[in-house]
Amino acid sequence: MFWGAIRDICTNGMVFGDVLSKFYSKHTSGINLGNLKQQLEQTYDQIPVIKERIEILKHLRVTDKIKKDVEDTMGKKIAKYIEYQSVAKNQWVMYNMITFYISHVIAQRMRASYQMKASKLFRL
C-alpha cells in the first residue's frame, strides 16, 4: 500500500509516494495491525512536510527545464496538453494539470505508473 493524499477538489489520484510511507505485507502471512497503525502514524506525521512542499511548488516558476523534464518523464502528449491548456502560473498548477490528465485521459491500468512518475518529478 502507498499512503497518499485525498484531494477534496477532484478525485485525481494524487500520490505522494516519496513523502508518505508505504506498507508491504504478503497476503498469505496476514497483516500485522500494529505495523499498519505505525505506518498510518508515520504518514500522519508527514502532513506538515507535504504542506511545505506544496507551498514551495506554488512559488516555483514553470521553467523550460521543468517543461523538458515533464516531456522526458511523462511523454509528449502530456507535455502538449499542458502547453495547449495554457501556461501554468507555477509548478503546483502544473502538477495539478498533470494529475487531472492522468485521471481523466490515461487508461486506468496505466494510471498508477504515471502517478508515481509525477510524484517523483515534483518530489511529492
pTM: 0.70
Give the type of residue at 26. K
List, for residues 6-27, the tens digit of each pLDDT value: 444 445 555 555 545 555 555 5
| Surface-to-core class of residue 34, CB atoms within 10 Å of its CB (0-12 exposed, 13-18 middle, 19+ buried) | exposed
Phi-psi region of 31 (alpha: psi -120 to 50; beta: other; left: phi over 0): beta
Q: How far is CA 32 from CA 3, 9, 24, 27, in A?
A: 17, 33, 10, 11
List, for residues 66-78, the tens digit of each pLDDT value: 999 999 999 999 9
> Taking 80 as the threshold, does the pLDDT of residue 107 lie above it?
yes
Which DSSP string corresponds to 57-71?
Answer: HHHS---HHHHHHHH
C-alpha cell of residue 122 = 515534483
Predicted pLDDT of residue 82 = 84
Are 76 and 103 in contact by the 8 Å Cβ rule? The answer is no
> Is the four-CA dihedral 92, 20, 116, 108 of positive or negative sign?
negative
